[in-house]
Every structure is written in structure tokens, then in C-alpha cells.
Amino acid sequence: MTTAFIAIDVQNDFCPGGALAVNDGDAVVDPINALMDKYDHVILTQDWHPAGHSSFASQHDGHDPLTAITMPYGAQTLWPDHCIQGTKGAEFHARLNVTRAELIIRKGYRRAIDSYSAFFENDHQTTTGLAGYLNDRGISHVVMAGLATDFCVAYSAIDAMTCGFSCQVVMDASRAIDLGGSLAAMTDAMTSAGVTLVNSADLT
Ligand code: VGL
Ligand code: ZN
């Protein structure tokens, strides 16, 4: 079985001091750097929005960050402006070891649609090309960790299963936003989809 490790959105804006800081977000850097050394294939994802992205609350008069609206493709949580292309906030955390990454999937770069998952944009139809890449390279298993557990990590993990890969999520190398019970809900959703939740120490 060929495995890829996928580090999800380990970017400044999701770390303390960032525009959409996840509690303790930078605590994932050391465990992720350690995990990368265990795998032959390392892939990174990078949230990469144009200024004025439609997922930003600033684009919707009268709507606050962390509330939801309905977009043509379904429900969408509104966020503070974050991970804007070319900004410091969109860069990977300075201590993330990016050296061995063979592929960086950028997502959320179309103004009209968000993309939590590394596989599909939020319409659950538009592909990022990741499944094709993994299939072409004979990779059948993915191990994921990063930010945030209950959004981009969970959506990516569930879609990995949908696309026919087996998937483990490394919980001690991930941190959650936990908005209105989203961590518990998405943990259940991952388990129901067949994702295996593990800790770094479980992985040889
Ligand atoms: C993410 C909210 C908005 C994530 C990205 O990486 O989990 N969450 N954009
Ligand atoms: Zn985003």
C-alpha cells in the first residue's frame, strides 16, 4: 500500500496572531514535521483566497463573521478575511518543513466558491485534481493532519473516503475551530464515513 501524508492548511492566518486563529494552532507544526519524515509522499494544502472572496463576511452587508448564509451551492459559513493570496497570512508557518512536499494544492482561489476540502470545492462537485494525482501515482491511503480539524481536515478526510482512498486523521497533530459544536459533529461525520482517527504514537 502506498501512502501519502497530507498537511492541511498549516498557515499563519490559522495560527495565534492570524486573521482566523485556531486555538493552539501552531501546536500542530512539530508533530506534523515529525510525521512527514515517516512517509514517502508528502502533500500540502494551502487556503488561497483572492481579496474580496465570497466566503468573507466583509463581502456581505449586515452579516457577521462566523454566521452562515446560503450560497448558490448551499450553506456557507462566513469568515473574517483570511489567507489572501500573496500575503504573510497565507504563507505556511515559518517552522513547517515544506522541503519534502511534492505537491501543494491551493484551494478557495475562485471568488464565488469556497473550498474546505483538498478534493472538492464546496459544491462537492468541482474537483481540485487531487484524487487524479493520487490515483495516477498509485497512492491508495492518505494520512492527514492540520488546521482546522472540524473544517478543512474533516472535509478532506470524508472526501478521501468518497473518492475511494482509505484515510487516517492524526488528531494530536490537528486543532479545531469548534464553532457551535462543529468538532463533535465533524468527528462523528468522519467516523461514520469510515475515517480512522489516530494519534501520532499509533503510527509506525
Ligand atoms: C478553513 C475556514 C475557512 C480551514 C479555511 O482551513 O479549516 N476554515 N477557510
Ligand atoms: Zn478559507
**Calpha distance 72→141 (Å, rounded):** 33
The model's pLDDT over 29-61, given as tens digits with 9 standing for 90+, comes to: 999 999 999 999 999 999 999 999 999 999 999
Distance 1 CA to ligand 2 centre (A): 32
Distance 168 CA to ligand 1 centre (A): 19
The pTM (predicted TM-score) of the whole model is 0.98
For residue 188, the model assigns a pLDDT of: 98
Per-residue HEC secondary structure of the chain comes to CCEEEEEECCEHHHCCCCCCCCCCHHHHHHHHHHHHCCCCEEEEEEECECCCCCCEHHHCCCCCCCCEEEECCEEEECECCCCECCCHHHCECCCCCCCCEEEEEEECCCCCCCCCCCCECCCCCCECCHHHHHHHCCCCEEEEEEECHHHHHHHHHHHHHHCCCEEEEEHHHCECCCCCCHHHHHHHHHHHHCCEEECHHHCC
47 lines ligand 1 (CB under 6 A): yes
Given a cut of 90, is residue 160 above it in pLDDT? yes
For residue 93, the model assigns a pLDDT of: 98
28 lines ligand 1 (CB under 6 A): no
120 lines ligand 1 (CB under 6 A): no
Across residues 131-157, what is the average pLDDT? 98
Given a cut of 90, is residue 7 above it in pLDDT? yes
Residue of 6, 20, 22, 56 with the most ligand 1 atoms within 8 Å of its CB, for mutation: 20
Cα three-residue angle 143-149-155, rounded to 5 degrees:
75
Given a cut of 90, is residue 204 above it in pLDDT? no
